[in-house]
Structure 1
Amino acid sequence: MKKITLIKGDGIGPEVTACAKKVLDLLVDDLIWTEVSAGLETLEKYGELIPKAVFDSIEETRLVLKGPLTTPIGEGFRSINVMLRKKYDLFCNMRPALTIPGVVSRYEAIDLVIFRENTEDLYAGIESRTDEDTRHSIKVITRKGSTRIIKAAFEYALAHNRHKVTLVHKANIMKETDGLFLQVGREIAKAYPDIVFEGIIVDNMCMQLVMNPHQFDVIVTMNLYGDILSDLCAGLVGGLGVVSSANIGDNFALFEPVHGSAPDIAGKNIANPIAMLLSGAMLLEYIGYYNEGKALRTAIQEVLKDPSNHTTDLGGKCKTDAFTDAVCKAIAIGG
């Protein structure tokens, strides 16, 4: 029996989280869900972006599946997602970018995993006004933060038979902050002699990913670069609608799609649930249901081989519930 906090989210969030819950319950019969609400719609209804019940549930289950949330512009938290990552020290953001057969993309056979440090860098939110015409934002990089995300990348590479870790930085210019990150990477790499290690400057990395993404395997970097590069890599495999993410700390873990809440299509039964389903697969694997996670990925791939199962964003006409039912059928056949 495993308890999970389900944050339904805004816009299409309730639709795609309902899909994920249906599929995960089919795969595993002892999941216990606590459904809670947060975000813009919750603020409008109850006067709070994140009610206390959300925090209480997270602190009980320590495991979260979350739909997309809308952060109000000009008020409230800088970002609800950033706040949750910092509050629960979810230092490791893991974003796979994997080619899915049947999804049109510019490249074939992409299989990358990005490890992004999730709590430091410019996203620490340390900003100030020196005068009316000048603003400062402080970049924070620590040895502790650098060590744990780089170790996570190497340990993943070791456990999954990956052969190369690429550390992305701008240490040629930011010699103290990025220089520390690169220094820590070089030190840690010595403990993994069977894994190739390289450091690449971030602007060159962007060019190299577009020219030849197949040269990379596991990528590890700081918060801002990771935010940018992970979306770039999503573009290599078909967009944000087909990529998942995990935010993992020592005591808590949160799984979510990285696309927006898409309020313009909410309630129309046309949202693509793939990113949410794949995030659910990552959750299953995290709690030890490896075969079930693999079965879900395989079912999605089988369903997408038929163009009639493609949702609007993938160039088809399939409805959200019909896609979910097709995945459930594929699981039943494969099981």
Structure 2
Amino acid sequence: MGVSERRFGVLTGDGIGPEIVPAAVAIADAAAAAELIQIDWQELPFGLSAIASHGDPVPAQTLSALDGLGFWIVGPHDSAAYPPGHGDRTPGATLRTRYELFANLRPARAFTGVPALRPDIDVLIVRENTEGFYADRNMAAGSGEFMPTPDVALAVGLVTRAASERIARVACAAAIERAGSGRRPQLTIVHKANVLRMTTGLFRDACRDVAAEFPEIEVSEQHVDAMAALLVRRPADFDVLVTENLFGDVLSDLAGELAGSLGIAGSVNSSESRVMAQATHGAAPDIAGRGIANPVAMIASVAMGFRRHGQMTDDAALVAAGARIDAAVADTLAHTATRDLGGDATTAEFAAAVVRRVAEH
């Protein structure tokens, strides 16, 4: 059997991006090669360096290239450091909107070797990524936040049945996929319908309707405040959580910290045909260039992206490459840690250790 080629994108980003993204790419290449895949990485202008070279953090050249790609890696962006006129809309918002990346999948699980507040946590938060209360996601033009007077600020929350049903289907599929031998798939609908009756009530009802089409799934629901408490108290009772944008953002950060650190929390943003691998953490400019950044979240995001894009395209080899990365990362964390996790490995040293273990899986 010969080697087959895939063409994917790389947007390195700001801050620690030039350290963690190349680390993730090297590991992705090793895992792909083990599955007889050769990746043609398209490096595209993005972030602060793209402002310097093209006058835009996400230039037309980058968007034109991404139009022809089904998978890409995105490093963190530091919009706060952009010159005036370039930070009003984040690069992530530009990409999410253009490609309708409506599903944000954020797993949180504890690893052997990583001190965790809840070693029994292993959940997947499925977050609706296009609506809610975030100001850049709920108006066709302008912001969803506005001030009728200098002393009064208002925000519009957007929830539609179509978007709620769409994310519920992703969550149901994930619950079925994650179910282990002898265990029923589990889905928890997270809302605040006791207070936000029309908006999150609509979200809850749409998710209920979709979940009813999957009788094999055990469905429950929680108010978001109770869900936060339960994640702290007994996370092992939960598997897949589906929720709206703001709630999903908050709960995923909480879950990541309960598992040990946001530095190990992978994430993908997905449509029905495209996947963007992007870690949940920021650009960490305070440690940029020092070689000490934790690359695990970026690596885990690429692994998840490989699996999801592979499933979308019936690419078993790519799915297998993603599984190789996951296994290699888990093995490495059991023995090696970067400074933030209590160890002394540099970014490059940790990545090299993962590469060595990729071949073993």
Q: TM-score, normalised by structure 2?
A: 0.88
Distance 2:290 2:25 in 1: 19
Distance 1:263 1:42 in 2: 17
Deviation per CA, 1:22-75: give whole Å up to 9, x if none. Answer: 111112142111111312343245421211121112111131111111113774
The partner residue of 2:24 within 10, 20, 32 is: 20
Distance 1:47 1:323 in 2: 35
Deviation at 1:178, TM superposition (A): 0.7
Distance 1:105 1:258 in 2: 18
Deviation per CA, 1:149-199: give whole Å up to 9, x if none. Answer: 011101111233262111111111111111111111221121111211112
- The letter of the residue matching 1:320 is T
Structure 2 residue 281 is the aligned partner of structure 1 residue 252: no
Deviation at 1:252, TM superposition (A): 2.0
2:330 equivalent in structure 1: 301
The partner residue of 2:132 within 90, 101, 121 is: 121
- Gapped regions of structure 2 (runs ≥ 5): 138-142
Distance 2:160 2:296 in 1: 35
3-state SS of 1:230 partner: helix
2:140 equivalent in structure 1: none
- Gapped regions of structure 1 (runs ≥ 5): none
2:260 equivalent in structure 1: 238
Question: Is the contact made by 1:77 and 1:83 (CA closer than 8 Å) also made in structure 2?
Answer: no
Distance 1:190 1:262 in 2: 43
Distance 1:83 1:206 in 2: 30
Q: TM-score, normalised by structure 1?
A: 0.95
3-state SS of 1:271 partner: coil
Deviation per CA, 1:266-305: give whole Å up to 9, x if none. Answer: 1111111111111111122122322222221111121122
Distance 1:184 1:196 in 2: 16
Identity %: 36
Q: List structure 1 segments (4+ residues) > 6 angstroms apart after TM superposition.
A: none
2:353 equivalent in structure 1: 326
Distance 1:36 1:185 in 2: 37
1:275 equivalent in structure 2: 297
Distance 2:59 2:175 in 1: 38
The partner residue of 1:314 within 341, 345, 350 is: 341
Distance 2:60 2:94 in 1: 14
The partner residue of 2:212 within 154, 165, 190 is: 190
1:212 equivalent in structure 2: 234
The partner residue of 1:52 within 60, 63, 76 is: 60
Distance 1:136 1:79 in 2: 21
Distance 1:188 1:51 in 2: 39
Distance 1:117 1:302 in 2: 32
Question: Is the contact made by 1:147 and 1:184 (CA closer than 8 Å) also made in structure 2?
Answer: yes
- The letter of the residue matching 2:42 is T
Distance 1:325 1:268 in 2: 17
Question: Is the contact made by 2:97 and 2:130 (CA closer than 8 Å) also made in structure 1?
Answer: yes
RMSD: 1.5
Distance 2:155 2:69 in 1: 35
Question: Is the contact made by 1:66 and 1:255 (CA closer than 8 Å) also made in structure 2?
Answer: yes
Question: Is the contact made by 1:40 and 1:72 (CA closer than 8 Å) also made in structure 2?
Answer: no
Question: Is the contact made by 1:91 and 1:117 (CA closer than 8 Å) also made in structure 2?
Answer: yes
Question: Is the contact made by 1:98 and 1:237 (CA closer than 8 Å) also made in structure 2?
Answer: yes
